[in-house]
Amino acid sequence: MKILHAFLLVLFLWAASYDSQAQIRMIAKKLHGATSTSLTEEEAAQGIREALQLGIDTAVALVSKTNGYFGNPEIRIPFPEDVRTVESKLRGLGMGNLVDEGVLAMNRAAEEAAKQAIPIFTDAITNMSLNDAISIVKGSDNAATQYLARTSSQALRDAFSPVIKEALDHVNATQAWELIMTTYNQIPFVSKQNTDLSAYVTEKAIDGLFIMIAKEESKIRQDPAQRVTDLLKKVFGN
C-alpha cells in the first residue's frame, strides 16, 4: 500500500509539474506576441511627428489656397473686435463696401502668409523631445496641437509678422485699412482709432492654422482610415 501511495504521489507531482510547464509556455507565448506588437518609445515619438507633419501639410494646404480663410467661417478673419464701432459707423454711412474690401484683404493676406508656415512648424516637430512625444500619445485629441501652440507660438509670431506685413502690402490690405481708418477718423465726434492691422492679422492667421491642425490631429486619432502609414496605424491603434 505504501508503495502504491508513493507511486501516486510521484504521478501527481509529475502531472502538476507538466501542467505548470504548459501554463508557463502559454504565458511566455502570449508575452512574446505582445512584445512583438508593442509600441516602443521611439516609435511613439516618430508616430507623433508623422501625425503632426501630416496634419500640418493638410492644414496649410487648406488655408493657403484662395478662400482658405475667407471661405471658412470657422477661421475667417473678421473686422477687429476692438474697432467694431468703426465697422458699424461706416456701414451706417453707406460705406459697407469699403469694410468688406478690408475684410477680404485681411483674409487674402493670411492665405498668402500661410504658405510660409510649414518650415516653421517642421522645426518645432524636429525639436520635440521623447518625453513630449510620449505625453502627446497618451494625451487628448489635440495634445499635439497644444504642444505646437505652447512651444512655437512666439517663434511663429516673430517669423509671421514680416511675412504678414509683406502679404498685406502685396494685396493692398494696408492701403485699404489706412483708407478705412482715415475715413472713420474724419467723422466728427468719434474717438480716433489706430489698430495695428499687421499684428491683428498675424494672430488670427496663427490661430486659424492651429484650429485646422487640431482638426486634422483629431481625425488621425479617431478615424483609422486617416492613418495612412503603418507607423501611424501602430501608434494610434495602440
The tens place of each residue's pLDDT in the chain, 238 residues long, gives 544 444 444 334 444 444 444 443 443 343 334 334 566 777 777 877 877 888 889 999 999 999 999 999 999 999 877 677 777 777 887 877 877 887 888 898 899 888 888 888 888 888 888 888 888 877 788 888 998 898 888 888 888 788 788 877 876 667 777 777 777 777 776 677 666 788 889 999 999 999 999 998 888 777 666 565 666 666 666 5
Q: Rounded to an integer, what is the distance from CA 64 to the centroid of its chain?
A: 15
CA angle 36, 55, 59 (to 5 degrees): 170
Cell of 94: 453707406
Whole-number pLDDT of residue 73: 96
How far is residue 21's CA from residue 3's CA, in Å, rounded to a whole number?
27
Q: Which residues contact 214 (CB under 8 A, 6 or more apart)?
A: 141, 142, 145
- So what's the pLDDT on residue 69? 97
The residue count for the chain: 238
> What confidence score (pLDDT) does residue 29 get?
41
> What is the predicted pLDDT for the residue at 205?
93
CA distances, 211 to each of 21, 55, 100, 105, 152 (Å): 56, 11, 24, 21, 15
